[in-house]
Amino acid sequence: MPEIVDASGLSCPQPVLMTSDKMKELKKGEIEVLVDTDTSKENVSRAAESQGWEVAEVTESGTGYRILIKKE
C-alpha cells in the first residue's frame, strides 16, 4: 500500500513541500499524493521527477487528482 500525502485544498508550495518531505523520509517505495488543482498536479509531478521518482499514474478523483509516484 502506498503512503498517502493529502495535499488537497492546500496552496502553493505546500503540496510540493509535503511530497518532498515524504520522498526524503521514505527514500523509495510508493506515495499517493492527493491534490485538487492542475497546477498542484504539475508541480508535484515535476518535483517527483526531479528527485528521481517516477510518476506512475495520475487519476482524476472526485474533487481533484491522485498522483501515484514510485521509486524502486
Partner 1 sequence: MKNFLGTRWGIISVGGFIGVLAPLLQKLGNPGNMGVCVACFQRDIAGALGLHRAAVVQYMRPEIIGFVLGSLIAAYAFREFRPRAGSAPIVRFVLGAFAMIGALVFLGCPWRAMLRLSAGDWNAILGLLGLIGGIWVGTLFLRGGYSLSRSEKTYTSGGWLMPLIMLGFLILLFMFPQIKGEAKTGVLFYSTKGPGAMHAPVAISLIVGLAIGFLAQRSRFCTMGAIRDLILFRIPYLFYGVLALIAFAFLTNLIVGQFHPGFAKQPVAHTVHLWNFGGMVLAGLAFCLAGGCPGRQLFLAGEGDGDAAIFVLGMIVGAAFAHNFGLASSPKGVGPHGIAAIIIGLLVCSFIGLTMRQGKVS
Query: Could you list the active site residues?
Result: 12
Other beta carbons within 10 angstroms of residue 48's beta carbon come to 24
Nearest Cα neighbor of 35 from 53, 51, 47 is 47
Of 16 and 33, CB closest to partner 1:
16
By C-beta, is 4 or 12 nearer to partner 1? 12
Q: At what angle do helices 38-50 and 14-26 cross, to 10 degrees?
A: 30
Contacts with partner 1, residue ranges (CB under 8 A)? 8-14, 16-18, 20-21, 24, 36-39, 42-43, 46-47, 50, 63
Q: How far is the CB of 50 from partner 1 (least distance, A)?
A: 6
